[in-house]
Amino acid sequence: MMKNKCLLALVVIGVIILQGCGSEENNSGEFNEVLPAVEAVEAQFGSLPLEERLNGIVRAANQVDIYPEISAPIEQVYVQNGDQVEAGDILIQLRDNEYRERLRQAEANLRISVAQEKQALAALGEVEAEIKRTRVLAERDVASDLELEQLEAQFESAEANYELAQARVEQAEANVEEQRDALNQTQIAAPVDGTVGQRNAEIGMQVSSATRLFTIGDLSQSKITINLTERMLSYVNTGQTVQIFSENLADTVLTAGISRISPFLGAGNFSTEAEIDIENPEGLLMPGMFVTVDILYGESEQATIIPLSSIYRNQQTGVTGVYVAPSFGLESEFIQDSGEEQASLSNPTDVEFVPIDVIARGRDAAGVSGIRSGQWVVTIGHNLLQRNNSGQARIRPSSWNNIMEMQDLRPEDLLDEIMSGDNVVENTPNSTANQL
């Protein structure tokens, strides 16, 4: 997340240095090398919460897209965006003349099929009665065996006709049900309780099964979907706490837990989905919103803790480390800065670059080895120190709270504050710009 106020302040300070030509004149008229002014914070000792930062997509609870199941023009639209509906409420009426006619024809065909079934049954009965009479006559030698065989063949034919008529009745009944269902589908009803949105329906509009008409969902409940890799499944579990935030939520951080994790990995991407159910009574989470999700899955080992903004990669050597002021805080003297609310700049103090190993990395801080807790590490001004070969700087001490707030600011917010003179660069005699 690009919210590092410290880095942007560094850029502004660098610009000021370039504009200052990199030198200052003393009382004797001689020019001395300019010492950079930097900000520093005291390293602490402790453990970091282990976090996995992911992006998530917000959906409303029971969110569904509404599509028609038939093709027809729209006759009436009964809801607007933002309307509350209950399951079963009619949303749209499609033109139904054609479907009513189809149902009427299907019902007529059913009546014909029923009549044909009755005829077939009657014919079957007649042949059956004739066979019984012929058998009696055959026993008395009045009727021949040939006549009896012919009647039995007629009986089998009549029986087949009756079964065919029965099948036609069943087919006609199924067609009636199909046409009645199609007619019912001309009225599109809400399948769930919720709020209507993304309306795409107007009177006279021709729709089909591919036309999305509305989206409905319960906005008081939200579901956030995140993707987990195969590696994450070894330490991310249901029930673990997550923190949810977004640039659109300002300073609001929401807390919830992982509700469920799909046990199936996607083919090719080796990832799966996890879902987070969260209450949304104030409507802060809007369906379709992208949010950042931090999964808190434990704590790191005990180590020296420093802000992320203090970690610097030396451009010349490629080594990652921090700039440390070894003697700062012991016998540091400060330039008088009367009338200033923020801490004063120190007199020239030794600084040195110290390589570190990052043991654990959190959202705002990291646990490292290579330095001790209590040492002061530079958080703003790394580039200035690298360009300066004196090994000294003037240091303005800062608190952890200030550094954390600065790291969480968006770049545009930081620039506004710097331009208004509320932070590092101020138009005062002892400001950072003038000290440089």
CATH architecture observed for domain 97-168: Orthogonal Bundle (1.10)
Protein fold of 53-65+220-299: Elongation Factor Tu (Ef-tu); domain 3 (2.40.30)
Q: Are 368 and 299 in contact (CB under 8 A)?
A: no
Asked if the model's pLDDT at residue 70 lies above 80, the reply is: yes
Distance CA 343, CA 321 (A): 25
The domain limits of the chain are 5-48+302-435, 53-65+220-299, 97-168
pLDDT digit string, tens, across residues 117-170: 999 998 888 888 877 776 767 666 766 667 767 777 888 888 888 999 999 999
pLDDT digit string, tens, across residues 298-341: 887 788 999 999 999 887 788 999 999 988 875 544 444 434 44
* Percent with pLDDT over 70 in the chain: 80
Residue 235's contacts (CB-CB under 8 Å, 6 or more residues apart) are 297, 298
Side chain identity at residue 184, one-letter code? N
Q: What is the pTM of this model?
A: 0.61
pLDDT recorded at residue 16: 40
Protein fold of 5-48+302-435: 2.40.420
The model's confidence at residue 85, banded by pLDDT at 50, 70 and 90, is very high
The token pair that represents 35 in the structure block: 């010492």
Q: What are phi and psi of 189, to 5 degrees?
A: -110, 155
pLDDT digit string, tens, across residues 335-373: 444 344 455 888 888 999 999 998 887 778 888 999 999
Distance CA 140, CA 394 (A): 136
**pLDDT (mean) for 206-225:** 96
Beta strands 37-42 and 392-397, pairing class: parallel
C-alpha dist (Å) from residue 371 to 3, 88, 306, 401: 26, 66, 10, 21
The token pair that represents 88 in the structure block: 């079963």
Answer whether 5-48+302-435 and 97-168 agree in fold.
no
pLDDT recorded at residue 420: 54
Q: Are 6 and 415 in contact (CB under 8 A)?
A: no
pLDDT recorded at residue 298: 83
Chain position carrying tokens 């545009």: 412
Asked if the model's pLDDT at residue 52 lies above 90, the reply is: no
pLDDT recorded at residue 330: 57
HSE-CB at 409 with a 13 A cutoff on CA atoms is: 21
pLDDT digit string, tens, across residues 6-50: 444 444 444 344 333 344 444 444 445 678 899 999 999 988 878
Distance CA 343, CA 396 (A): 6
Inter-helix orientation angle 5-19/411-419, to 10°:
40
**Mean pLDDT over all residues of the chain?**
82
Asked if the model's pLDDT at residue 79 lies above 60, the reply is: yes
Distance CA 270, CA 235 (A): 16
